[in-house]
Structure 1
Amino acid sequence: MKASNEENRMDAPGTGALQRAFAVIRALGEDQAEGSRVTALAKAVGLTQASVHRILQALMAEGVVEQDENSKRYRLSVDFFSLAAQAGNPSRMRTLCRPALLRLCASLGETIFLLVKSSFDAVCLDMCEGPYPIRSFTGDVGGRVALGVGQGSLAILAFQPEAEREEIIRYNVPRLHNYGVFDEVYLRTEIERVRAQGYAGRNSGLIDGMAGVAVPILDRSGNALGALSVGTLSTRLGEDRLPMVVELLKRQAQALGPQINPFDVAVRRPVHGLTRAMATRPLSGPAE
């Protein structure tokens, strides 16, 4: 079939060619797991197979697309994802969220934590200390705890994609036994509670005299990029004050979610495997 004049313009430099190339890239991204054939790509982007083939060859020459030798299907390359990851400044999430932490700390008079997922753990990326002495599971900035322990990490775990959440649960349940009160039934019950109410705020009683509440920072797909968490004295987080604290946390989290680059290295979601997880610091008790 003869290509139209509009399609032929893709061979010339300009906006049209660039738009077509990105249309093919987006179509490849939607079928990244299996890869795509030229016929399917042509149908998806509304171009002829010849046009799509020329675009693919150009993208392969730039190293952002690769072709499987056996299936002959095309997919985005590792170099493409490496380039996309570089677009996310490693400190961008912390920089972006810092004003929210300061506002919450000033409004509530409490210590505020920013947590993100790292393999099977949650890591404290930033915090803003309030006037009351508290103990937390992650301790200071850089501290980590198994996902499922503490309100912040529970909020992150509850809003992971289902398959990833299941893998984390299977791996972490034995680690949670170190605390003496966790089992799989308990953890799954808490996860469902958090998903239903949109926040984690039930006092586990694991740190005497301490209480906390956390909300997830969600991307457009409803998956957790991180969590905003309040750590305080149990006497300061009664049923009368809890709704107000949750509302302020949710307001900040909802404003942050759309602004966070999903390629930021601080919020990459894929599980990195058991080898990396076993190399992390062992699960420890609450920071003093």
Structure 2
Amino acid sequence: MRTTSGVPGTQIIRRITVLLRLLGAHNRHGARLTELCRDAGLERSTVHRILQGLAAEGMVMQDHKSKRYFLGQAVYELGLAAAPKVQLRDIAQPFLMAVAEQTGDTVFLSERAGFDGVCLDRKEGGFPIKAFVLEPGKRRPLSVGCGNLSMLSALPDDEVARICLANASRMAEKYPRITPEVLRSRISVTRQQGYAHTEVVETVGVSSIAVCVRDENKMPVAAISVSSVSYRLEGQRVFEALAFLQHAVREIEALMPNVAGSRFTIR
């Protein structure tokens, strides 16, 4: 479980936040109590007590047949209240759909959230073999995933070092194959190419290509990626998919000043 600075009295807040994020990442099919305990690194009794409290407030609900937990209606209501008038997802949606139609593959929109990247949206192309490597709401360290890599590589070296240090323990525990040396190499290649192209960590035989979206200050705030079975992202087809991605990114960046969420500093 990721930890933050040791401010007195905030342990329960961190635990609740971790559980809500885990539920968000698995909300399509729900999550079992044992899965939440494992992924949060917390005792069963602690997780059960927190979930019961959240359920009483409408933040969490449980399917009594499957015993799986889901986000509750109150979370949706808070999300509506917090949403800016114009959201990145709304602006990007037609361009994501266009790339999905042009490539036939699965397209993802991810956004930077501090030391992490969060999947905001996913669009499916017509190719029968789907690469569902991310669910909307899935949160991963910026060091993991093609879209995240494209954002991380576009940051200054000191910011990259700060993010990698903050994520070091999570990376060693959950993604040991992505060593600091491997990550440095990937960042170097991505910077040289101007785009990210990697194999998907969690799914064998699937690859992704990604281009970051920059704000008016040229800082990376999001990324669009295409994922497919690896043989569909080789040779000339890489450059065809890249051209579609780059066009979509240019169109989104032209509309970025209208996104209200960009007024907040990412820490």
Could you say whether these structures have the same fold, taking a TM-score greater than 0.5 normalized by the shorter chain as the test?
yes
Moved over 4 A (4+): 266-269
How far is 1:191 from its partner? 1.1
Gaps of 5+ in 2: 1-80
Q: How far apart, CA to CA, are the structure 2 residues paired with 1:118 and 1:150?
A: 14
The structure 1 residue matched to 2:136, chosen from 138, 141, 155, is 141
Paired residue for 1:92, among 87, 91, 95? 87
Partner of 2:219: 223
Task: Check the 8 A contact 1:111/1:230 in 2, yes or no.
Answer: yes
Alpha-carbon spacing, 1:143–1:266, altered in 2? closer, same or farther (3 Å) = farther
Q: Distance in 2 between matches of 1:267 and 1:228?
A: 21
Q: Where does residue 104 of structure 2 map in the other structure?
A: 109
1:236 to 232, 235, 243: 232
Which SS does the other structure have where 1:213 is aligned? strand
One-letter identity of the residue aligned with 1:108: T
8 Å CA contact 1:173, 1:183 repeated in 2: no
Partners of 2:216 and 2:256 within 8 A in 1: no
In 2, the alpha carbon distance for the partners of 1:127 and 1:208 equals: 20
How far is 1:268 from its partner? 4.4
- Deviation of 1:247 after TM superposition, in Å, equals 1.3
C-alpha displacement at 1:162, in angstroms?
3.9
Q: CA deviation at 1:174?
A: 2.8
Partners of 1:102 and 1:201 lie apart in 2 by 21
SS in 1 for 2:257: coil
Deviations 1:27-70 (Å, cap 9, x if unpaired)?
Answer: xxxxxxxxxxxxxxxxxxxxxxxxxxxxxxxxxxxxxxxxxxxx
Relative to structure 1, is the Cα distance of residues 239 and 269 closer, same or farther in structure 2, using a 3 angstrom cutoff? farther
Map of 1:201 onto structure 2: 197
Q: For the structure 1 residues 127 and 269, does the alpha-carbon distance in structure 2 shift closer, same or farther, using more than 3 Å as the test?
A: farther
AA in 1 matched with 2:260: D
Note the aligned Cα RMSD (angstroms).
2.3
**Aligned counterpart for 1:179 among listed residues 167, 175, 187:** 175
C-alpha distance in 2 between matches for 1:193 and 1:103: 27
The letter for the 2-side match of 1:163 is D
Report the secondary structure of 1:211's partner residue. strand
> Per-residue deviation at 1:157?
1.1
Preserved CA contact (<8 Å) 2:151 2:212? yes
Alpha-carbon distance between aligned partners in 2 of 1:140 and 1:267, rounded to the nearest angstrom: 26
Instruction: Report deviation, 1:147.
Output: 0.7
TM-superposed deviation, 1:233: 0.9
Aligned to 2:206: 210
Partner of 2:67: none
For 1:103 and 1:224, locate their aligned partners in 2 and report how far apart those are by CA, in whole Å: 22
SS where residue 148 of structure 1 aligns? Answer: coil
Matched, 1:120 2:110: no
Q: When the two structures are superposed, what TM-score results if normalisation uses the length of structure 2?
A: 0.62
Counterpart secondary structure, 1:231: strand
1:90 positional shift: 5.7
How far does residue 205 in structure 1 lie from its aligned partner after superposition? Answer: 5.7
SS of 1:202's equivalent in the other structure is strand
Between the aligned residues of both structures, percent identity stands at 27
TM-score normalised per structure 1:
0.58
Structure 2 Cα separation of the partners of residues 161 and 258 of structure 1: 23
Provide the C-alpha distance between the structure 1 equivalents of 2:91 and 2:199, rounded to a whole number of angstroms: 29
Q: Indicate if the aligned counterparts of 1:119 and 1:270 stay in contact, CA closer than 8 A.
A: yes
Are residues 1:257 and 2:253 paired? yes
* CA contact 2:86–2:259 (8 Å) conserved in 1: no
